[in-house]
Structures are given as structure tokens and as C-alpha cells.
Amino acid sequence: MDEESRLIRAGAGRKPTAKTVAPAIQRGSTVLLPDAKALYDGTFGYGRSGLNAQHALCEALCELEDAREVQLFPSGLAAVTAALMAVLKAGDHILVVDTVYKPVRQFCDAVLTRFGVGVEYYDARLDADGLLALATPATRLILLESPGSLTFEMQDVPAIAAAARTRGILTLIDNTWGAGLLFKPLAHGVDLSVQALTKYVCGHSDVFMGSVAVSDRMLARAMEDAVHEHGWAVTGDDAYQALRGLRTLAVRMARHGENGLTVARWLQTQPQVLRVIHPALPGDAGHALWRRDYSGACGLFAVVLRAGPDRAVEAFLNALTLFGLGFSWGGFESLAINGDPQFKRRRIPVDYGGPVIRLHVGLESPADLVADLAGALSAYEAAQ
């Protein structure tokens, strides 16, 4: 053969033989099949369906979620929207919690309505009876997020899931706060357990990925078909990173939870603080549900400052040096944002009594984080 041809085939015949702790990453769109018959026997024909690392991650996530099947998506948002697209059709109606992650609301308002799905937002504080009273004969799905985005309202997930099931309504939860570890949605009767693996599972603020876990055979089929029909795919490199993150999820989460509570308790004692919203704190509105259903806490919660002008909120945020200002969470680092500008899109206005700051407490020393927040609270006071 000429050199061009030899260079194209050289080395391609080697099989991976060494067994390593982590899975081998295969990079491939093309999957080479052994013979003509195999081209159409429906087995394993194309890289988009996932290769070694993606399969290893799905298996591990089935273990985490106690699921029959897990599908991967290129982001957490894509996982939520994919699950909705997989089970909804024109004419359906869905009930969406008003404290839902804002881009999910945008998808519901901009895309689902365009495809003829009716969308109604409900108060996160409704119990199962109150919520089911909003259901119509067309209601196909209830979307839960517990604790809710930015303000951490807890929902009675098992009661809502059970009541929905008796009415033939599906439930879907965004369980990113629980990360599949602190709360097990499928074991509590939820049909579709979604999480942004981008956050705690990946854990290092450098990968986007989402997952949908299901127990029911029909739903597993619906999700599999949807993935195939829409063409969602993740790379082997990203799947590898997510699996690597998963290995240390439990130890990182324990530290996030401890550090978060240390910082939250300190904030409760500060004169500039009106209250701390953290379901693991006794006295929080969601504490009883958290105690009943969760095995721990992550590092994400909110602090409500005593009422003050926008310039004081800006002074608070700008004074932080250890907490970064950024919209994500779940990585090893601490982050802060002010939540209030996002509340404008909500349907049910809630007065929290002052500016709401969402904090993600990372793996730094809590003493250093407290010192950083002390400086920011002084700046808040000075800018009144």
C-alpha cells in the first residue's frame, strides 16, 4: 500500500488490554462493525449512542439513583427539556413550580406553548391536595424542584408523587440540590429524576452534563426513543470527567454540607441578617420535610439581609474576595449572587423582607469564608 493508506490504518488494530481503575475513553463517531450482517442487526452501530465511558457513567448513575435506566444530556437544562419533550404532546397541560430554575421557565413559556402544551405555574408552598386541585383532565405532568431555585422552598415530594400517580399524572423533579445522593426521587415515587451533573457530580466547575433517571419500563423506552430521535449526545471525555467526579461525591458533599451549616449558623447571629433560608436549619419552613426525606445537605442556601438599597447589595457582593460572583454552584469553590432580579419572572410574588443573596459554600475553610462574609456585611452597612 502507498504511505497515505498505510498511515490511515497504522496502529488501528491494537486492542486495549491493560485494565485500569478508570474506564478507557473511546473517542469515536464511527463504530467499525465486524461484518456486513452486523451493519443492520440493531446492536451497536454509531458513536452517538455512547461508548465505553458513557456506558460506565450511566451504570454508575443507575446505582446512585436506584434507577432502571439513565440517559445523559449535554447540560442539566437539556436534561429537563429533553424529559419534557419525551413525554408531552400537543394538548397536554403541565403544572410547573413557580420557583423553578429560570431557564426551564423560559423553555416552558417559549417552546412548550409553541407546541400546544398548556403551562401553569403553582406556588411552591402548596401541599399535595392544593396542587392536585389545579390539575385538569389534560394535566399530564407536574414539574417539581425541591428545594426551589434561589429561595429553597421544600415540597412534600412523596405525597405529591403519590397523589399524582392516582390521577395518572407523571411527576418530574429537578433534584440537582440533592445530587441523587441526599434525596432519592425514584424511591419516593417520582417518575423522572433529573439533575444537572454539571453541579455536584462533576464537582469542579468545568463540565456541562445532565441526566434523567427512570424506573418504569415504558418511561425508560420513551427516554431512549427521545434521545435517539432528537440526537442528544455527550462526549466520552465529558462522561469520564463526570464519572471521576462521582467517585468523590459523597465525601465532597459531606464537607459542603458541614461548611454550609457552619457559615449559615454564623450568618444567623449577624445584625445585618434578617434570616437564613436553609432547609437543614431548625426553624426553616422546610425543615420537617428535609429531616424526613433527606440524608444531608449540600452547600447551597440563601441569606436575606435587612432591607437596604441596591447600592448596598452591590457593595456587599463587591466586597467579597473568597466568594466568587458567578451563577453556577456545586464546584469546590464558594460563590454568591443576588437573587432578586430573577424574582420578576415569577407568577406568585413573595416578599422575603429584604435582599436575597444565594451562597454556595465550597470546600475552603469555613473560618476564612466567615471572615470574607463579615467584610461584606460591613460594606453592606456602610453603603446604607
Ligand X SMILES: Cc1ncc(COP(=O)(O)O)c(C=O)c1O
Choose the stretch contacting ligand X; rule: CB under 6 A; options: 50-58, 72-80, 115-123, 236-244: 72-80
Task: Report, in Å, the least distance between residue 97 CB and ligand X.
Answer: 11
Cβ atoms of 354 and 278 closer than 8 Å: no
Of 124, 182, 172, 156, give the one whose Cα is nearest residue 330: 182
Which CB sits closer to ligand X, 201 or 261? 201
Among residues 173 and 276, whose Cβ is nearest to ligand X?
Answer: 173
| Residue 352 annotated in active site | no
CB of 44 or CB of 327, closer to ligand X: 327
**Under rule CB under 6 A, residue 262 binds ligand X:** no
Locate 357 and state its grid cell: 443573596
Q: Does 245 bind ligand X (CB under 6 A)?
A: no
Centre a 10 Å sphere on the Cβ of residue 182 and count the other Cβ atoms it contains: 20
- Across 288-298, b (16+ Cβ under 10 Å) vs e yields ebbeebbebbb
Looking at 69-77, 180-188, 252-260, 369-377, which segment touches ligand X (CB under 6 A)? 69-77
Among 156, 174, 238, 372, the active-site one is: 174
Nearest residue to ligand X on Cβ basis: 76
Residue 174 bears catalytic tag: yes
CB 49, min distance to ligand X, A:
21
The site string for ligand X over 172-201 (x = CB under 6 A, - otherwise) reads --x-x-------------------x-x---
**How many residues can be counted in the chain?**
384
Q: Which residues within the stretch 111-150 sit at the binding site for ligand X (CB under 6 A)? A: 149
372 annotated active-site: no
Residue 75 within binding range of ligand X, rule CB under 6 A: yes
For 245-279, b/e burial (b = at least 16 CB within 10 A) is: bbeebeebbeebbebbbbbbebbeebebbebbbbb
104 versus 128: smaller Cβ distance to ligand X? 104
Single out the segment in contact with ligand X by CB under 6 A; choices: 71-79, 83-91, 305-313, 362-370: 71-79
Measure Cα distances from 116 to 37, 84, 138, 174, 365 in Å.
43, 13, 12, 23, 50
Phi, psi of 265, rounded to the nearest 5 degrees: -65, -40
Of positions 77, 94, 126, 213, contacts ligand X by CB under 6 A: 77
Q: One of 199, 252, 275, 346 is an active-site residue; which one?
A: 199
Q: Which of 101, 183, 200, 240 binds ligand X (CB under 6 A)?
A: 101
The answer to whether 48 is a known catalytic residue is yes
One-letter identity of residue 319? A
Catalytic residue positions, numbered:
48, 101, 174, 199
Query: What is the binding site for ligand X (CB under 6 A)?
Result: 75-77, 101, 149, 174, 176, 196, 198, 208, 210, 328
